[in-house]
Amino acid sequence: MSPLSCGPRRCRSRASTGRRALRASRALGGLWRGAGCPTDLPRSAISGGAMLDIQFIRHNADRVRAAIKNKRLELELDDLLAADKERREITTLLEQKRARKNELSALIPKAGKDDRPRLVDEAKQTRSDIEQLEPRLAEVQRRFNDLMLRVPSLPRPEVPIGKGEDDNVEIRRVGTPRTFDFTPRDHVDLMTSLGLIDWDGPRKFAGGRSYALVGDGALLEMAILRLAVDTLIDRGMMLVSPPVLVKERAMMGTGYFPLGVEQAYAVPADELFLVGTSEVPLVSLHCDDTLELAALPIRYAGISPCFRREAGAHGKDTRGIYRVHQFMKVEQVVFCPPDEAVAEKLHYELLGNAEAILAKLEIPYRVAIACTGEIGLGQTRKHEVESWMPGRSAYSETHSCSTLGDFQARRSNIRVRLEDGTLSYPYTLNNTAVASPRILIPLLENHQNADGSVTLPEALVPYMRGKDKLLPR
């Protein structure tokens, strides 16, 4: 076996004679390596734990290759298969040596004076053989692990094959965009004239894409978040306010790393990262756990600030608050049994929750299924909810609903005990409930009046201290 390939709790990667273990298990963690810091990778990520089971990959190479191509990833599957083969060869050899070593250790105390020196000599030789093999295995294992973390999950059959946004397929539209009998303003104008935001202050001390919600602007954000929270609690979800500063393993475990490292803010001094969504801590809440089948599904509603570097988005969506570095989000996360039918049902339940919130906010939207080129490494299916934004004269993404299969559970070492006592991996799903300030764009733009005021949807009024209209200053 490869000492590295063990997963769960009791099994550690103590290569070999025990102690002089290989370092391969750490191979993945390299981000902080330079600083000589220990990485804290999900042990599962080390073995079968990446995304698909290596055995599955071996037997379904063509399907995996197709997924790599359709998701537009760069990964040579043959490199992985070669590393896997090499890794198993060395492992076999190493285990034979170790078996002999164990045998000798048992013989030595029983051996007579005459035989003893001979046996000790052989044991020394065997140990030195082992010590030679270990670094070789460590190297291969490192290569193997790194590649494993880049293997995508397989898109479900209904996911359209395509390259980009334009290949997403619209499923339905709900609500009708208003026709204005005046020239509608965009959210930037509205927020400015309504005094909901301070643009200039933050940019002096916090940089580009920063902003400060002020007065009713700040209250409005809280009102919307609170409306979303209440809606989800009513629908049976457990509210969680999780840590947003997390270890690398959480980012790796949820699939945001290694491919998305450049999107996350890092805190090198403490080897921590700021999450881009509470999905990361919510899923990680159960890392290394074995869940009881009866406890599933687990429905969480996370509320947290979210941080995204938006690297590579220079010059994109720079006007207003569409794309910012820090925002607030209520996110839904579900753990469900490893059953496609149940996952399907829950996926639409989450989508339904998001739609219910949009309905309360009285915002027209459409739902689209994202094509293979637009879904992430781990997602097997993703729906986007796009809200109508008059200022853009377009539907733009405000929500994203994903099924991940067992991708995150494997990486995060989250398991479930089935009826027959066997262990499996639960499926995870997630969906935005509401994200602010982006949601303010359709909210304000759709509900504006000719005089520059904005009429608030009824559902928000109680959360706005009774205020039902925002007036220009």
Partner RNA sequence: GGAGGAGUGGCCGAGCGGUCUAAGGCAGCGGUUUUGAAAACCGCCGUACCGGCAACGGUACCAGGGGUUCGAAUCCCUUCUCCUCCGCCA
Instruction: Point out which residues bind RNA (CB under 7 A).
Output: 1-3, 5-23, 25, 38, 47-48, 53-55, 88, 91-92, 95-96, 98-99, 101-106, 108-109, 120, 123-124, 127, 421, 423
From 185, 249, 299, 308, active-site residue: 308
Query: DSSP H helical segments within 236-339, as ranges?
Result: 248-253, 279-284
| φ/ψ (deg, to 5) at 443 | -60, -55
First-to-last CA distance in the chain? 71
The shares of helix, strand and coil residues in the chain, as percent rounded to the nearest 5, are 45, 20, 40
Please say whether the beta carbons of 302 and 276 come within 8 A. no
Rounded to an integer, what distance in angstroms lies between the CA atom of residue 152 and that of residue 387?
29
Of the listed 139, 279, 349, 397, which one is catalytic? 397
C-beta of 103 vs 167, nearer to RNA: 103
Q: Give whichever of 3 and 177 is closer to RNA, judged by the CB atom.
A: 3
Nearest of 388, 368, 400, 365 to residue 441 by alpha carbon: 388
**Shortest distance (Å) from residue 434 CB to RNA:** 26
Quick check: is 12 catalytic? Answer: no
Q: State the Rg of the chain over Cα.
A: 26
Closest approach, Cβ 380 to RNA, in A, equals 21
Q: Nearer to RNA by C-beta: 44 or 446?
A: 44
Residues 6+ apart with CB under 8 A from 442: 361, 363, 365, 387, 388, 389, 390, 398
Amino acid letter for position 365: Y
- Three-state SS sequence of 35-93: HCCCCCCCHHHHCCCCCCCHHHHHHCHHHHHHHHHHCCCCCCHHHHHHHHHHHHHHHHH
Which residue, 47 or 387, is less far from RNA as judged by CB?
A: 47
CB within 8 A of 398, min separation 6: which ones? 358, 365, 385, 386, 387, 432, 434, 435, 438, 439, 442
Distance, CA of 69 to chain centre = 21
Task: Report in angstroms how near the CB of residue 144 gets to RNA at its nearest.
Answer: 10
Q: How far apart are CA 379 and CA 145, in angstroms?
A: 20
Q: How far is the CB of 353 from RNA (least distance, A)?
A: 31
Rounded least distance, CB 86 to RNA, Å: 11
Which among 248, 384, 438, 445 is annotated as catalytic? 438
Does 438 qualify as catalytic in the annotation? Answer: yes
Q: Are 473 and 452 in contact (CB under 8 A)?
A: no
For residue 384, give both structure tokens. Answer: 């986007």
- The least CB distance from residue 7 to RNA, in Å, is 4
Beta carbons of 138 and 338 less than 8 angstroms apart: no
> Which residues, other chains included, contact 348 with Cβ-Cβ below 8 Å and sequence gap of 6+?
none
Spatial CB neighbours of 334, under 8 Å, sequence gap ≥ 6: 297, 298, 299, 300, 346, 350, 428, 429, 430
Q: Known catalytic residue: 400?
A: yes
Minimum distance from residue 425 beta carbon to RNA (Å):
9
Which residue type is seen at 73? L
When the beta carbons of 181 and 420 are compared against RNA, the nearer one is 420
Catalytic residue among 323, 366, 392, 417: 323
Whether 323 sits among the annotated catalytic residues: the reply is yes
Nearest approach in angstroms of CB 69 to RNA is: 25
Which CB sits closer to RNA, 232 or 416? 416
397 is catalytic: yes
Give me the active site residues, please.
308, 323, 397, 400, 438
